[in-house]
């Protein structure tokens, strides 16, 4: 294989990057009191250790009027510098350059935290924050420009190798660039040259602040995906203007507006990889500066292809390196199979951001907890014989966490394959990537020498016969039958029955969504694709309400409407008479009826914990994880498995051995 572009060093002004993979900027909610934290330090250091070519930190705010979310780094406070130094020193130890992204979010904010008016080019309320901003005057524009210079100086003092101006998806600069939010009639509004004026002023100011030894990048939005917003032609024009300043070393790209079209910025698995590469491609054709492309890059091969095809000079891989900090190192060493591939599920990374929680990862429990040592091997003196019962995500994580520390782990699984409910969930075509969770866990288990027995249904006697030192019960959960569903009504089935093929509904199907996540919507799509007439009914205000958290709700609606799936909300099943299902519209009390051929239930399940209780009753050292403890989503199974597996202590030497 010829030397790959991905491993070819590249010069970004004064800075050399040794490979083309960028850990580009993203929020983490790790800041404490506006300052960088140890959580940041360990998080970035892990990705540097894993070989990233370049790290660009989350944004550092330039001004007190900018405080859109609680855990924002207030880069304008001089107190940030010591924290910057801790981050940059930790990253530099791995000979990886690190840039600070600096930004003012402009109107894409509220006054909740700042208790100051929000600043923007014009009094156009943001679609998410819905607060009318104050239109900045000339003096305030000058203040903003100067504030970028201040934070750039802090960044330089803090040891960063460069700064990036986020002018793309949530920024006052974007606000000025975009005709949708800039309604000014002065020198900063109207023609593109006017709308770009603040950007050029900031570039001048920042270059003056950092001098020639630091790199300067500008991140631009190629298509805002909003009515009347910036599209690619103007973005290319702006890139040319940026290049013409002669003060910028690279251009980064993005798509969408964070407060309007976030689902296209942090695209979930329903959007094809590389979906936004038209942006760096177009910009790269227009400018000579190196251009960064982003957008659901999951593996090194895909990145190499984008580079080889000339779409970009550098590739941003964020979620891929959240899921696996060693993404680059593994690829460089040729162990691509070892990569813990990102699922693009958005559950614990993007999903936690919107909820003001620290950034994590569904399949990497160490993400965000590097500073606590989560996921690090802590070898035991003498390994135990650990028996894990159940090869769903909880059991597999317990197995690999235990094996990591040197225990001897066997996993027994009743069915013929690993994965539990995740395997079923991934059978739905557009959720297939979710199955990588199991692939990754199995691969890691294999690397660590975990033994597997499939098709083995153990009972308590069998467990005792095997004489394990420790048992981890990960037997999952069983579907619950709601009180109103007659036991003998074969036309009322669980989601799992449909996904595993036990039930094959045809005709009209009512899917009941009491879980508010992918269960109901997935099966609804599957059945609609098979030709069923589908209605999803929810007692909540929205079907699949938590799809909003993972940025799947918009696309679900688009697909549902194109597939003719009906959605009815605020309805509660009240009973079955013959083949008639009675439902009540709970806000009004009005009764309605449905007569579908099939009802598919997405309802809470019951832990399969009988074996656990029996083993505990017999005095075995036993723990339970995942749904067997409490039926929850996959991330909880992984967290349980990691905690329990990693906590298994060293084996006690038998007394006669110990006494020798």
| Residue 14 contacts residue 211 (beta carbons within 8 Å) | no
- For residues 203 and 543, which CB has a smaller minimum distance to another protein in the complex? 543
Neighbour tally for 275: CB within 10 Å: 13
Where does this chain bind another protein (CB under 8 A)? 69-70, 111-113, 115, 117-118, 123, 125, 130-135, 352, 355-357, 514-517, 541-542, 546, 548, 553-554, 557-558, 561-562, 570, 585, 587-588, 604-607, 629-632, 636, 639-640, 643
User: Min. distance of Cβ 52 from another protein in angstroms?
Assistant: 26
Cα separation, 73 vs 65, in Å, equals: 13
Our CA dihedral for 106, 109, 115, 119, rounded to 10 degrees, sits at 20
Query: 117: which 2 tokens?
Result: 């008016």
- For residues 110 and 410, which CB has a smaller minimum distance to another protein in the complex? 110
Query: 162: which 2 tokens?
Result: 């460069």
| Residue 357 contacts residue 441 (beta carbons within 8 Å) | no
- For residues 446 and 548, which CB has a smaller minimum distance to another protein in the complex? 548
User: Min. distance of Cβ 56 from another protein in angstroms?
Assistant: 26
User: Min. distance of Cβ 413 from another protein in angstroms?
Assistant: 23
- For residues 152 and 639, which CB has a smaller minimum distance to another protein in the complex? 639
- For residues 128 and 200, which CB has a smaller minimum distance to another protein in the complex? 128
Cα separation, 79 vs 154, in Å, equals: 9
| Residue 563 contacts residue 528 (beta carbons within 8 Å) | yes
Cα separation, 613 vs 619, in Å, equals: 10
Neighbour tally for 352: CB within 10 Å: 21
- For residues 128 and 456, which CB has a smaller minimum distance to another protein in the complex? 128
- For residues 95 and 115, which CB has a smaller minimum distance to another protein in the complex? 115
Runs of H (alpha helix) within 405-562: 420-425, 436-447, 460-466, 495-499, 518-529, 553-562
- For residues 507 and 564, which CB has a smaller minimum distance to another protein in the complex? 564
User: Min. distance of Cβ 111 from another protein in angstroms?
Assistant: 6
User: Min. distance of Cβ 588 from another protein in angstroms?
Assistant: 5
User: Min. distance of Cβ 634 from another protein in angstroms?
Assistant: 13
Cβ within 8 Å of residue 538, ≥6 positions away: 512, 513, 514, 516, 520, 544, 545, 567, 568, 569, 570, 571
- For residues 236 and 560, which CB has a smaller minimum distance to another protein in the complex? 560
User: Min. distance of Cβ 601 from another protein in angstroms?
Assistant: 14
Report the interhelical angle of 138-157 vs 197-210 (nearest 10°). Answer: 30
Cα separation, 27 vs 36, in Å, equals: 12
User: Min. distance of Cβ 560 from another protein in angstroms?
Assistant: 8
- For residues 281 and 364, which CB has a smaller minimum distance to another protein in the complex? 364
User: Min. distance of Cβ 648 from another protein in angstroms?
Assistant: 18
- For residues 384 and 496, which CB has a smaller minimum distance to another protein in the complex? 496
- For residues 286 and 542, which CB has a smaller minimum distance to another protein in the complex? 542
> What is the Cα 395 distance to its own chain's centre?
23
CA-closest candidate to residue 201, choices 240, 173, 233: 173
- For residues 207 and 559, which CB has a smaller minimum distance to another protein in the complex? 559
CA-closest candidate to residue 575, choices 555, 551, 594: 594
- What DSSP element (H or E) covers 637? helix 634-646
Cα separation, 384 vs 381, in Å, equals: 10
Cα separation, 279 vs 288, in Å, equals: 15
User: Min. distance of Cβ 17 from another protein in angstroms?
Assistant: 35
Cα separation, 380 vs 377, in Å, equals: 9
User: Min. distance of Cβ 167 from another protein in angstroms?
Assistant: 23
CA-closest candidate to residue 477, choices 459, 460, 494, 502: 494
Phi and psi at 301, nearest 5°, equal: -65, -40
User: Min. distance of Cβ 11 from another protein in angstroms?
Assistant: 42
Neighbour tally for 656: CB within 10 Å: 7
User: Min. distance of Cβ 534 from another protein in angstroms?
Assistant: 17
Phi and psi at 554, nearest 5°, equal: -60, -50
Cα separation, 345 vs 332, in Å, equals: 26
């Amino acid at each position: 294989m010829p030397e790959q572009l991905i491993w070819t060093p590249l010069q970004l002004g004064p800075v050399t990057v040794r490979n083309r993979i960028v850990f580009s900027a993203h929020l983490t909610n790790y800041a404490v009191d506006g300052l960088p934290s140890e959580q940041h330090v360990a998080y970035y250091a892990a990705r540097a250790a894993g070989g990233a070519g370049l790290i660009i930190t989350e944004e550092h705010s330039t001004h007190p009027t900018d405080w859109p979310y609680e855990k924002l780094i207030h880069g304008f406070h001089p107190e940030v510098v010591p924290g910057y130094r801790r981050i940059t020193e930790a990253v530099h130890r791995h000979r990886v350059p690190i840039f600070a992204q600096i930004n003012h979010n402009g109107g894409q904010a509220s006054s909740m935290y700042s208790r100051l008016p929000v600043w923007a080019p014009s009094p156009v309320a943001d679609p998410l924050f819905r607060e009318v901003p104050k239109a900045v005057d000339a003096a305030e524009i000058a203040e903003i420009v100067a504030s970028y210079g201040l934070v750039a100086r802090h960044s330089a003092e803090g040891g960063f190798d460069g700064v990036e101006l986020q002018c793309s998806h949530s920024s006052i600069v974007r606000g000025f660039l975009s005709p949708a939010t800039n309604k000014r009639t002065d020198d900063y509004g109207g023609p593109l040259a006017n709308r770009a004026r603040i950007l050029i002023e900031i570039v001048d100011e920042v270059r003056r602040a950092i001098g020639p030894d630091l790199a300067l990048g500008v991140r631009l939005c190629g298509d805002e995906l909003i009515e009347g917003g910036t599209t690619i032609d103007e973005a290319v024009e702006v890139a040319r203007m940026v290049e013409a300043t002669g003060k910028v070393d690279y251009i980064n790209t993005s798509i969408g507006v964070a407060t309007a079209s976030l689902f296209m910025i942090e695209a979930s698995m329903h959007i094809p990889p590389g979906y936004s590469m038209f942006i760096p491609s177009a910009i790269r054709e227009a400018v000579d500066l190196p251009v960064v492309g982003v957008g659901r890059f999951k593996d090194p091969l895909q990145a190499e292809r984008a580079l080889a095809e000339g779409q970009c000079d550098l590739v941003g891989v964020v979620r891929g390196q959240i899921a696996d900090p060693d993404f680059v190192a593994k690829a460089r060493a040729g162990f691509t199979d070892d990569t813990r591939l990102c699922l693009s599920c958005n559950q614990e990374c993007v999903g936690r951001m919107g909820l003001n929680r620290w950034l994590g990862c569904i399949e990497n429990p160490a993400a965000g907890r590097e500073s606590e040592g989560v996921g690090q091997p802590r070898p035991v003196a003498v390994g135990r014989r650990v028996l894990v019962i159940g090869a769903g995500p909880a059991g597999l994580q317990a197995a690999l966490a235990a094996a990591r520390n040197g225990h001897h782990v066997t996993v027994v699984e009743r069915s013929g394959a690993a994965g539990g409910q995740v395997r079923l969930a991934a059978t739905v075509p557009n959720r297939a990537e979710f199955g990588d969770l199991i692939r990754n866990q199995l691969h890691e288990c294999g690397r660590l020498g975990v033994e597997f027995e499939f098709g083995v249904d153990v009972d308590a006697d069998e467990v005792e016969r095997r004489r394990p030192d420790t048992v981890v019960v990960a037997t999952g959960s069983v579907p619950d039958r709601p009180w109103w569903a007659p036991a003998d009504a074969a036309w009322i089935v669980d989601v799992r029955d449909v996904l595993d093929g036990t039930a094959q509904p045809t005709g009209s199907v009512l899917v009941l969504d009491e879980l508010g996540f992918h269960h109901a919507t997935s099966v609804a799509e599957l059945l609609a694709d098979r030709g069923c007439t589908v209605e999803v009914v929810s007692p909540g205000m929205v079907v699949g309400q938590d799809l909003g958290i993972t940025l799947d709700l918009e696309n679900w609606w688009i697909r549902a409407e194109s597939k003719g799936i009906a959605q009815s909300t605020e309805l509660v099943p009240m009973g079955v008479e013959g083949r008639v299902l009675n439902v009540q519209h709970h806000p009004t009390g009005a009764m309605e009826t449905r007569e579908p051929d099939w009802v598919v239930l997405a309802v809470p399940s019951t832990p399969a914990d009988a074996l656990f209780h029996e083993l505990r009753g017999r005095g075995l050292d036993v723990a339970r994880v995942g749904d067997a403890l409490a039926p929850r989503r996959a991330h909880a199974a992984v967290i349980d498995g990691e905690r329990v597996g990693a906590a298994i202590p060293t084996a006690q030497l038998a007394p006669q051995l110990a006494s020798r």
